[in-house]
Amino acid sequence: MSEGAAVAATPAAHTSITSAVVDFIDSARLDRMPAEAIAIGKRCIVDGLGVVLAGSAQPGARILADYHADNGARGESTVFARTPLHTSASVAALLNGISGHALDFDDTQLSTTADRIFGLLTHPTVPPLVAALAVAEREEASGQRFFEAFLTGFEVECKIAEAIHPDHYKKGFHSSGTVGTFGAAVAVSKLLGLSRAHTAHALAIAASMASGIRVNFGSMTKPLHVGRAAQNGVVAAELAARGFTGGGDALDPPWGFLQVFSHGQGFDPARIGGVLGNPYAIVSPGVSIKPYPCGVLGHPMMDAMRRLVVAHNLQPEHVSRIRVRAGSNILNPLRYPIARNELEAKFCPAFMVSSILLRRKAGIHEFTDEFVLSEPVQQMMARVERVLDPEIEARGYDKIRARVEVDLHAGGTLAEDADERYRGGPDNPFTQADLEETFTYCARLVLNDEQIREVLRLVDDIDNLPTVRPLCRALAAS
């Protein structure tokens, strides 16, 4: 369905979407989920836990952890960091959620059609993962119950993000904060075994708590959106479990989330009603696991730049200018012409290609204030031009399309198109070895090698664990 074909607030549609979501949550069972969803789900958990551990060392995550440690809270769930904190489930979800998005290294939901902007629907794993794990630890829930809840929340989150009109994101909402709230609320509702009525109330409470606006991209508040999504999901489900009520039809027109949060543009019911779990979004269109800790929309151009650098043995002194050509779906979110800190660098094409040229990589150790502000980086970024390319723009927003052009001091121009079969996506997925290497790279900031091996073993066997507590203990630093 095109952007202009979003549903109007007709009586026939009035209760169908909320009811369909509640039906799906109520009936979802791990033993009925496809084997591919289970396999990919474990990959997402490994990747998600890795970026939580790595992100816990970021300044924003430490500030929030110190703030809550000073305020004190009961120790029922673990905050995974160099100095583990035991606190309430909702605060653990908040802090682990912030860490999970602090590096912008967490996975990305894929779109199905050209009018749904690729990579900007949600970062789907972290909100349901950290919310469900915090509550599962407190409840001593089995690995199977936790995993079932995670996959259920993941699915509902992705389908809501796909169904809502694209103006939700285009006009300023950060979907990982807004829609991520539902992923967390659904996961915790499922884990707690809420009744259909209580689940509907949890959705309504979540709809009123959902928030996050794009003006905060490039600041500590962007990962706060994801942390709050996880925390709000826990709070919404726990309030509903206690009998706290919300309005009816939380997702439906005229006053539900899908209508109000789309700036009145509505939603496409065919993308959610009747297709929950059919297929599971984690399988089709799939999920993208990131090779770089920054905005996913820059990854193919970074790989294109690396191909040029390696093939031609490019050195900084060889290059006079670089042009990054892309559509508005790339250049609007990657909005910083010159980065002044590592947070802005995550949304700065000039830094992305400059880092590749200067170091032939762009990892956690490149996304630092020190490197971003260094003289070689600042000088190289000044030579990079962002170009809105009308031919690329006309091809739609469902893929990450870009072109890198490098002008040489010696004369001539080198050019490379970004590969739509980008690394980490379903068409070019990480191998298991790639995934474990990335997890180890992240986790070594917090864990020792023995703990890393134990976390990988426990996630692989998650559906057979009598309780998730061994996993939580393994994730706590020595």
Residues 283 and 304 in one domain: no
E-assigned strand segments in 245-383:
287-288, 319-326
The answer to the question of residue 423 being in a domain is no
d(CA 423, CA 438): 13
CA 376 vs CA 201, 315, 351, 372: distances in Å: 55, 12, 11, 9
Q: At what angle do helices 35-55 and 449-460 cross, to 10 degrees?
A: 150
Domain boundary among 384, 417, 450: 417
Average of per-residue pLDDT across 39-63: 95
Q: Whole domain around residue 386: which residue ranges? A: 296-417
- If DSSP codes are grouped into helix, strand and coil, which group holds residue 388? strand
Please say if the pLDDT value at position 8 is more than 70.
no
- Tens of pLDDT along 397-413? 878 899 999 999 999 99
Amino acid identity for residue 112 in this structure: T
Residues 156 and 282 in one domain: yes
Please say if the pLDDT value at position 165 is more than 80.
yes
Average of per-residue pLDDT across 283-292: 94
The answer to the question of residue 429 being in a domain is no
Name the residue with tokens 């309030």: 239
- Please give the residue that has the higher pLDDT: either 13 or 468: 468
The answer to the question of residue 432 being in a domain is no
Residues 454 and 412 in one domain: no
CA 374 vs CA 82, 298, 341, 365: distances in Å: 28, 21, 10, 13
List all residues 6 or more positions away from 379 whose beta carbon is below 8 Å from its beta carbon: none
Looking at residue 73, its pLDDT comes to 62
List all residues 6 or more positions away from 22 whose beta carbon is below 8 Å from its beta carbon: 196, 199, 200, 203
Residues 273 and 372 in one domain: no
**β-strands 384-388, 319-326 pairing:** parallel
Residues 275 and 324 in one domain: no
Torsions phi, psi for 101 (to 5 deg): -115, 0
Residue 213 Cα to chain centre, angstroms:
15
Average of per-residue pLDDT across 44-63: 95
Residues 137 and 163 in one domain: yes
Residues 48 and 121 in one domain: yes
Amino acid identity for residue 240 in this structure: A
Looking at residue 14, its pLDDT comes to 42
The answer to the question of residue 114 being in a domain is yes
- Tens of pLDDT along 121-139? 899 999 999 999 999 999 9
Q: Please answer whether residues 261 and 253 qualify as being in contact, where contact means their C-beta atoms are separated by less than 8 angstroms.
A: no
Residues 220 and 301 in one domain: no
Average of per-residue pLDDT across 469-477: 93
- Tens of pLDDT along 416-447? 999 878 889 888 999 999 999 999 999 999 99
Residues 195 and 211 in one domain: yes
For the chain, the domain total comes to 2
Proportion of the chain above pLDDT 70, given as a percent: 95
Burial 438-450 (b: 16+ CB within 10 A, else e): bbbbbbebbbeee
The C-alpha torsion from 57 through 62 and 64 to 70, rounded to 10°, is 140
Structure tokens at 66: 């110190």
Residues 262 and 127 in one domain: yes
Which CATH number fits the domain that encloses residue 359? 3.30.1330.120
Which CATH number fits the domain that encloses residue 181? 1.10.4100.10
Residues 138 and 41 in one domain: yes
The answer to the question of residue 136 being in a domain is yes
Mean pLDDT for the chain overall: 92
Residues 331 and 263 in one domain: no
